[in-house]
Amino acid sequence: MITRAGWGLAAASALVYAVGAPFGYAQSAVLAVAGLAAVGAGALWTLRGAGLSVRREVTPVKVARGDPAVATLHVRNTGRRRHSGLVARDTCRGTSVTVEVPSLASDTARTVSYRLPTRRRGETPVGPLVLDRTDPFGLARRSIAYGRRDLLLVRPRTVTLGPLNAGRQRHLDGFASRSAPGGAISFNGLRDYVIGDDLRHIHWRSTARTGVLMVKELTDVNLPSTVAVLDTRHSSYEGDDEFELAVDVAASVACSVTRDRFPVRLLTGTGELLHAKGGPGESEEVLDRLAVVERSPDAEPPLHALRRAGSGGTLVVVSGTFAALADAASVRRRFDLVLYVRVGDPTEGGMPGAAGVNVIEISDLDDLAGAWPN
């Protein structure tokens, strides 16, 4: 492809010939031919086979929003001639990253690294990688795509939060949870035998009395549960920055719970996003799910999600407005502790209150740990 400089030289050559030829100036014809020949030579230079092997690596493939992510290019000259004037262009979610590739002698390799933009959360395609080859005078350029697209997952930022202490007990021995591990020692009731149940838990007296295999249901009585509701309505946030902060808050809450091996349900305006039961590695799943959450014009108000939230444990509602505070207050009797987190600039006149609801207002994620109740 002829560059802007190449087209300019071709136009200037034609103009010189058009002005000088009618007056019999032979020099004008020589200059015009030389200019056009330079443009043609540049085009032929770029048409020559590249003879390059290019490989890209993205490290890491999952990164928190704002943290560095690096792409590394491994370029090898497999031809017999030296390559110079190479420029690599990579596309990362609409942003073009330009990298200069040093001159390569025959059968030599170079490694070039460059940072990728991670300001926006979500699945970020990287590529395709385009290598631009220009002639020594910059009159022509040839662009060749190499390799495949890589995927960079930009996940929410998080801060570590302490466990929330609920003040009500729903079991004689403490909190009861049906998602407890089978090795728990607290008896919570009897149920019919299901294939796969541990035979050691069969209650033989009840089995003899009923004629049906009955199994003891054991629970972990000290296993607190948490429900986190993220408001995903467009009208609840002034802009993308406020919504990104809300996602960071929801991720911090859910990850802090799962790291302590406690169950958590994560709800949005479009339904349940995740139900973690306290198993190992669930924090990674929380971050992966929240990495792709977006605001939706069809999102329901938090009250609709709260109706499906069950009862017991702790409820955390995250929103960019206080409009859903009344919804949280309306269900406070169903939970041991209700916490409402409003993100964004501080409201004029102070924070509104609601009976039975702990209200937090933050404008930065670093403020969350300090405002978090102990």
Contacts of 303 (CB under 8 A, 6+ apart): 324, 327, 330
Beta strand 264-268 with 95-101: parallel, antiparallel or unpaired?
Answer: unpaired
Residues 329, 351 contacting (CB under 8 angstroms): no
d(Cα 110, Cα 114) in Å, to the nearest integer?
A: 13
Residues 6+ apart with CB under 8 A from 322: 342, 347, 351, 352
Q: How far apart are CA 163 and CA 165, in angstroms?
A: 6
Residues 6+ apart with CB under 8 A from 26: none
In terms of DSSP bridges, do strands 150-155 and 122-126 run parallel, antiparallel, or are they unpaired? antiparallel
CB proximity list for 341: less than 8 A, separation 6 or greater: 249, 316, 317, 318, 319, 360, 361, 362, 368
Task: Return phi, psi of residue 136, to 5°.
Answer: -60, -25
pTM value is 0.73
Report which of 289, 284, 290, 282 is spatially closest to residue 262, judged by C-alpha positions: 282
Quote the tokens at residue 175: 């909190």
Residue 338 in contact with residue 308, Cβ under 8 Å? no
Torsion of CA 78, 80, 84, 87, to 10 degrees: -30
Give the whole-angstrom CA distance, residue 341 versus residue 12: 66
| Residue 115 parent element (H or E) | strand 109-116
Distance of CA 152 to the CA centre of its chain: 8
Query: What string of pLDDT tens digits covers the 374 residues of the chain?
Result: 788 888 888 888 888 878 777 777 777 887 888 888 887 877 776 776 567 888 889 999 999 999 999 999 898 888 887 877 678 888 887 788 888 888 888 889 989 999 998 988 999 888 888 877 777 677 877 777 877 888 999 999 999 998 876 544 444 444 444 444 444 456 667 888 888 788 888 889 999 999 999 988 765 555 678 999 999 999 999 999 999 999 999 999 999 999 888 889 999 998 899 998 877 889 999 999 999 999 998 899 888 888 877 777 899 999 999 999 998 998 888 888 999 999 998 887 677 888 889 999 999 999 999 999 87
DSSP string, 320-369: SSSTTHHHHHHTGGGSSEEEEEEESSPPTT-----TT-EEEEESSTHHHH
Say if residues 133 and 141 touch (Cβ distance below 8 Å). Answer: yes
Bridge partners of residue 219, in order along the sequence: 186
